[in-house]
Every structure is written in structure tokens, then in C-alpha cells.
Amino acid sequence: MQKFLSVTGMAAPMPAANVDTDVIMPKVFLKGIDRAGLARGLFHDLRFDAKGRTRPDFILNRETMRDVRFLLTGPNFGCGSSREHAGWGTLQYGIRALIGTTFAGIFADNAANNGLLLISLGEDDRDRLFRAAGPDGAELTVDLVERTVTCGGLRLAFEIEPSRRQALMEGRDRIATTLQMKEQIREFEAAYFAEAPWLARGGAA
Amino acid sequence: MQPRTLYDKIVDRHKIRALDDRDGPGSQLLLYVDRTVLNEYTSPQAFTGLRDAGRDVWRPEAALGVVDHVNSTAPDRGGAVEDANAQRQIDYFAENGRDFGIEMFDVLDPRQGIEHVVLPELGWVLPGLVIAAGDSHTATYGAFGTVGFGIGTSDIEHLLATQTLTYTRLKTMRATVVGDLPVGVTAKDLVMALIRGIGADGAAGHALEFVGEAIDTLDVEARMTICNMSVECGARVALMAPDDKVFDYIAGRPRAPSAEMLARARPVWQALASDAEAVFDREVVLDAGEIAPMVSWGTSPDQSGAIDGAVPDPASLPEDRRRDAVRALAYMGLEPGVRFEEIAIDRAFIGSCTNARLADLRDAAAILRGRRVAPGVRAMVSPGSSSVRRAAEAEGLDRVFIEAGFEWRQSGCSMCLAMNDDVLAPGERCASSTNRNFEGRQGSGGRTHLMSPAMVAAAAVAGRLADVRSLASREM
């Protein structure tokens, strides 16, 4: 997992509400057994028409967005299917953080597990940032150490859950961290199955 | 002890330790997960991760795999699929089952079906459990008083390796459903009305518990429909306190605990309810008696209305919903003011983990008996599981569907998300008993109208969206 400290780059506004993971990563890109090749699928049906031609009006197809690093998103971004391919494809496209108000739960967990930073702003700050970036987007800097978003003369502070921030800054292996607690898990399990024998092996009919 | 909600009781029971110094919603904890179900499309990278790190599965008997997303539903299907990539997913899935000691149901297994239909019918979903799985509709299990929720692939890997998740406790929300559903109105209509009322993010960040007489009256399958689709208003978890209907549903199923063990479990399960004084972070009240059969008109599940209504004028909607409504109507090829019952369809689909259990097929068959699908409409039914398919055949429902002009297909997720070859062509309009009407969900450019299985049957017969209550009158 790539560490996130401070990143500067272009931000593309995508203000629609309830952008779902079917739109972020259409089903034809879900047929792999590895994580590779998903940048091509990101927002595929918005980037390309049915004949595979580029849709010039879509924000990510503009020349200025060639090296896009951020999306400015509408509420409930990432709703729907649990497909982690949506998060993988976003990162593979080069996007490092999404800045909006709310994100759907599974999408947010997936993002955290892969080092994609999600920033939830209050609606007033979100509006100020969208105004600062304008409809064509703008360059901005996200600093996770300082917890700030800077766009031109606008500087916004954001909150993030401390353990998520730490994990993003360190690029940590979560499974290794949990396995350090394996004795506790075993002790829990022993007591748990003693109290609920219908769940233990042999409890089934 | 402080009064607690059902959700908090179950989470507390599965809390191994705190992971921060906070308490309540937003706090992090190490959560023990009882069981999981795996599918062929969200699990492969999790197993590759385990292989790369040289890790074992913590408790292989706590996982069960079933092929459901990419397989064919052709009536005469074999074990293989034409799509080479899908076949690779199926093969790797089987290989992972063999190498890690996890039981897998392949396409031809008589127990194959949609994961969230298969687990309950095996008797493997029990009250008070935590079940996390790589599919958002894992919330279905809330009908059993189980905390079920969807996770991504990284968390599947974490769960397989440790039997735990690093978990953020949710806020709680209670939906009280008073009154009774009118004749011809189903659990699907109830949950669609709720989603419309509170919005696609109305329960985001919450565990949503349903209470009230309308819920008590419903059978377990209908309750599953509600918990399943609660995901579409943002609920990560949906819950209902288990009752005798649930205990009776479980008893005698293939993987259910023995009668002796069930007797021991019962008092524990009967205590699974929110305390009378428990405080929820949010409350919403719904009057079941005011609900009519629902249809969606847009590309988000909250864009819906009662069948006797019309496509709304975006200008009449709250300001923050207007722009999305304009875009949705353009995608759907609909004009404001068009009566729902004037909207002609090309396809009809009955299937999905929301609405393809035996009761759903009976509801649809009751409408179709002695009727024919309208000319020009292609209609399909994909039973929720191979067991549901056999049970339906045993009572002759397959004949009803076939004689009405429906294709009687095999089981799988099928055209709910169109990962296999059951796909809408661009511009095709489908009446669908599924859960998501997102752009491209049933095929790039396809147009989905969500509704109950009986409403799909009515639409198939009419060739346009139709009010099931007008067709059903002679049965009622």
C-alpha cells in the first residue's frame, strides 16, 4: 500500500449524488483474478461511448486532466455493489484522494484498505472547494500530515479517523497487525464456542 | 446495565477488544466473524493475497463458497461457460477451495444458487451471528437477527486469515412500520417506499432495525427482501428481532443445529431484541397501510413512485435532487408527466437475491396463471437457487411460467447485474424484480424499472408497467 503524506495535482469535479460502483467500474472489468488492468475500466461508460469513442465532454477526458490526482465528489459516492475493483481502478488511474461530503460504507472501507484517501468535508466547505476549483477543476494540494486541502487561496482543514490516518501515512499491512493479536482471538474463540455449542463443529445436525 | 439496541448487543458479543480509546458509533474494534460466504468474482484476489503472504485460512469450516455471479442460467447449462475470463474465475475458485480446505458448490451442485438464497435455505444463518461477505447484499441475513454486512476483497482476505475484521461501530436507526400492507402490496413495495422516503443515503452509516406489526406479520422470506434491499438506502446492516417464525424456518434444514442444540439455543435467541428503553440515533415511522405497488423511474433506487402515478417533473423535486433527476430521465428515455402505466417494456426479469425465493415465484405465478406474456416482450425467470427451482417444479410453477411465455432458467445472479450472458441490449427497457436500477446495471444502455415479482408478471402480461391490483382482483 502506497503511503500518503502530501500530494499535489489536478482535481476533477464530479458533483452528482449517489455515483455507484457499477458506474465507477462496469461489470465487464470484473472478470479478472488479479487486480491489474482496471485503470481502463474506470468510469468506462462515461469516458467512452458504445462504439468506444472518447466522450470529449466528460471531465476526465479533458487535456488538463491527463494527470488527475483528485476527484471532487457528490454525496454518497461509491454506493451499491461491494466490488473493490472500483477502488483499485481509481488508484490505478492515478487518483490518490476523493474529496466530498459522504462516501458509502463498503467503498470507504475498501479505500482505506488500499491507501485511497477519502476526505469528508462539511457542506459549506465542500461548496467553497467546488467554487474554488470551478467547473473545469483546478490544481490543489492535500496534506494528510497537516490535514489540509489547499486550492489557490483557499485552505480547508479536514477531520479523519486517527487510526485510518495513521495507516494511510504508514502504508501498513493490516493482516500482520491483526495476527499480532492471535492469542486473544484464540482465547475469545474458546470461550465463545463453549457458551454457544450450537455453533461449534459438531453442533450441526 | 444501560439499555442497548439489538445491533449493539450482537456487536458487543463479538468484540474481541477495542482498537481505540473511544466508545459508541465510530469506535474501532476487533470483531469476531462467525461465518462467511464466498463467490467467484470478489474472492480471487483475496486468495492470491493469502498465497503471496504464505498465510492459511483461520477456520476453513466457517466459510462456504458458491458460484453465482458469472455462471450461465441457460436451462441446459453444463459446468463450463463460454467467457474464458469467467471460466478462469470459476476454475480458480475451485482451486482455492481445494487448497485452503473450503467447501465450494460449483455450478452443477444441486445446492448451487445465489449466495444469499443458499445460506438461509441450508439453515446456516442463525440468530445472533455476525456474517460478513464479499457482496453488499449480505445484509439479507438481518431477517434472522444476524448482523450481516458486505465487505470488499481486502477485508475478505483479512477475514479468511484472522476470522476477524477491524470494525467501525455503526450508528443505529429504527424503522417502525405500523399498520398492515394492503392486498397486492408486498415487502418489496414496503422497502422501495422506505428508500424513496429517506433517500439512497438515508440510512448511510447506520444499522437499520425494523420493528412493528407489519414486520411481525411477514414471513421470513419477505423479511429477507426488506433487509436485502435496505442496502439501497445506505444501511450497511439491516436487522429484525428473531421470532418463532425464524426459529421454525431454521429447524430441520440441512446445516441447522440438531434438535437438542436448537433447544439450548432458543432461550438465547429469544433474548435477541433491542431493550425497550434503548435509544437509536435516528427514528423513522412508516405506515404500511398507505403503501401502493411501487416502480422505479430513474437510475437510483430512491427514484420511484406508486404505480398509479407519473414520471415526475424534475422541477417539482427538491433542489438537490433535480440535476440527478434530469440526467436519470435522459438515460431512461422518459418525459416528465408520462403515466407509469403507459411505459412499454421490452423485457421482464424475475430473479435476484432480493426476490427469487419460492414465495416470490408463487406470487408471480398467481398473476401469470392462464395469461400470456405480451407479444414482443422477452420474459425470464431465474430461481434464487437450484433448490428453489426444484421446489417450484414440484408444485408445477415451472409449467405456469412456461405456458405464460417465460423462459424457465437455472439459478444465478443473472440479469440482476448481468455479469453472465443475461444482458439487456442498449435502450432495452426491463421490468425487473431486482435491487438496482443504476445506469448500465443490467447491460450498458439498458433501462431498469424495479418492482415486485408480481408487478413484473403484471408488466410482462400487459407489455407495459401495470398495476398488479387490477390483474389480481380475480385471485383475491
- What pLDDT score does B1 carry? 78
pLDDT in tens, B49-82: 999 999 999 999 999 999 999 999 999 999 889 9
Same domain, B335 and B277: no
Nearest to B436 by CA among B425, B446, B426: B446
* Pairwise CA distance, residues A92 & A108, whole Å: 17
Q: Is the pLDDT of residue B376 over 70?
A: yes
Using a 10 angstrom Cβ sphere, with 0-12 exposed, 13-18 middle and 19 or more buried, the burial of residue B292 is: middle
Q: Is the pLDDT of residue A205 over 50?
A: no
Nearest to B207 by CA among B178, B167, B179: B167
Same domain, B196 and B313: no
A-B Cβ pairs (cutoff 8 Å, strict): 196
Q: Is the pLDDT of residue A201 over 80?
A: no
User: Do the domain assignments include residue B235?
Assistant: yes
Average pLDDT over residues B211-224: 98
Of B28, B89, B234, the CB nearest to A31: B89
Q: Residue A113 and residue B152: Cβ atoms within 8 Å?
A: yes
Same domain, B275 and B179: yes
Three-class DSSP category at B316: helix
Q: Enumerate the H helices of B34-83 as residue ranges.
A: 44-53
* Pairwise CA distance, residues B207 & A129, whole Å: 31
pLDDT in tens, A86-131: 999 999 999 999 999 999 999 999 999 999 999 999 999 999 999 9
Average pLDDT over residues B345-359: 98
* Pairwise CA distance, residues A50 & B364, whole Å: 34
Q: Residue B162 and residue A182: Cβ atoms within 8 Å?
A: yes
What CATH number is associated with residue B386?
A: 3.30.499.10
Question: How long, in residues, is chain A?
Answer: 205
pLDDT in tens, B412-461: 999 999 999 999 999 999 999 999 999 999 999 999 999 999 999 999 99
For residue B257, how many other CB atoms are within 10 A of its CB? 24
- pTM beyond 0.90: the answer is yes
pLDDT in tens, A140-198: 999 999 999 999 999 999 999 888 899 899 988 899 999 999 999 999 999 999 999 99
* Pairwise CA distance, residues B177 & A37, whole Å: 46
Side chain identity, residue B176: T
By DSSP bridging, strand A6-14 and strand B15-18 are unpaired
Q: Residue A33 and residue B92: Cβ atoms within 8 Å?
A: yes
Residues of B in contact with A32 (CB under 8 A): 44, 85, 89
Same domain, B163 and B57: yes
Contact status, residue A20 vs residue A80, Cβ threshold 8 Å: yes
Final residue before a domain boundary, out of B230, B258, B284: B284
For residue B347, how many other CB atoms are within 10 A of its CB? 25
End-to-end CA distance of chain B: 49
Q: How confident is the model at residue A2 (pLDDT cuts 50, 70, 90)?
A: confident
For residue B412, the enclosing domain spans 293-472
Average confidence score pLDDT of chain B: 97
Nearest to B460 by CA among B416, B394, B400, B383: B400
ipTM of predicted complex: 0.93
Residues of A in contact with B88 (CB under 8 A): 31, 33
Same domain, B108 and B257: yes
User: Do the domain assignments include residue B121?
Assistant: yes
Long-range contacts of A118-127 (CB under 8 A, 24+ apart): A119/A149, A119/A158, A119/A160, A120/A158, A120/A159, A121/A149, A121/A156, A121/A158, A125/A156, A125/A158, A126/A72, A126/A99, A126/A100, A126/A101
Nearest to B42 by CA among B143, B138, B166: B138
Same domain, B413 and B330: yes
* Pairwise CA distance, residues B436 & B61, whole Å: 32
Q: Residue A23 and residue B440: Cβ atoms within 8 Å?
A: yes
Q: How many domains does chain B divide into?
A: 2
- What pLDDT score does B473 carry? 53
Residue B198, CA distances (Å) to B40, B126, B232, B294 in order = 33, 29, 10, 15
* Pairwise CA distance, residues B198 & B251, whole Å: 36
Distance from CA of B204 to the nearest CA of A (A): 7
pLDDT in tens, B297-321: 999 999 999 999 999 999 999 988 9
Give me the DSSP letters along B82-140: S-HHHHHHHHHHHHHHHHHT-EEE-TTSTT-B-HHHHHHHHT---TT-EEEESSGGGGG
pLDDT in tens, A39-84: 999 999 999 998 999 999 999 999 999 999 999 999 999 999 999 9
Residues of A in contact with B234 (CB under 8 A): 76, 79, 104-105
Distance from CA of A192 to the nearest CA of B (A): 9
Q: What is the architecture, at CATH level 2, of domain A6-171?
A: Alpha-Beta Barrel (3.20)
Distance from CA of B115 to the nearest CA of A (A): 14
User: Do the domain assignments include residue B123?
Assistant: yes
Q: Residue A84 and residue B42: Cβ atoms within 8 Å?
A: yes
Q: Is the pLDDT of residue A33 over 90?
A: yes
* Pairwise CA distance, residues B387 & B274, whole Å: 34
Same domain, B277 and B371: no
In terms of phi and psi (left: phi > 0; alpha: psi -120 to 50; beta: otherwise), the region of B404 is: alpha
End-to-end CA distance of chain A: 44
Final residue before a domain boundary, out of B221, B252, B284: B284
CA dihedral (B448, B235, A83, B358) positive or negative: negative
Stretch(es) of chain A classified as CATH 3.20.19.10: 6-171
Contact status, residue B202 vs residue B233, Cβ threshold 8 Å: yes
| C-alpha cell, B463 | 407489455
Q: Is the pLDDT of residue B372 over 50?
A: yes
Same domain, B279 and B364: no
Same domain, B262 and B301: no
Final residue before a domain boundary, out of B284, B319, B346: B284
By DSSP bridging, strand B164-168 and strand B28-32 are antiparallel
Residues of A in contact with B152 (CB under 8 A): 82-84, 87, 106, 109-110, 113
| C-alpha cell, B222 | 419477505
Three-class DSSP category at B474: coil
Q: Is the pLDDT of residue B41 over 80?
A: yes
Same domain, B253 and B364: no
Q: What is the DSSP letter of A153?
A: T
Q: Is the pLDDT of residue B476 over 60?
A: no
User: Do the domain assignments include residue B412?
Assistant: yes
Same domain, B265 and B348: no
User: Do the domain assignments include residue B1?
Assistant: no
Same domain, B238 and B384: no
- What pLDDT score does A172 carry? 81
Of B28, B257, B438, the CB nearest to A203: B257
Contact status, residue B358 vs residue B394, Cβ threshold 8 Å: no
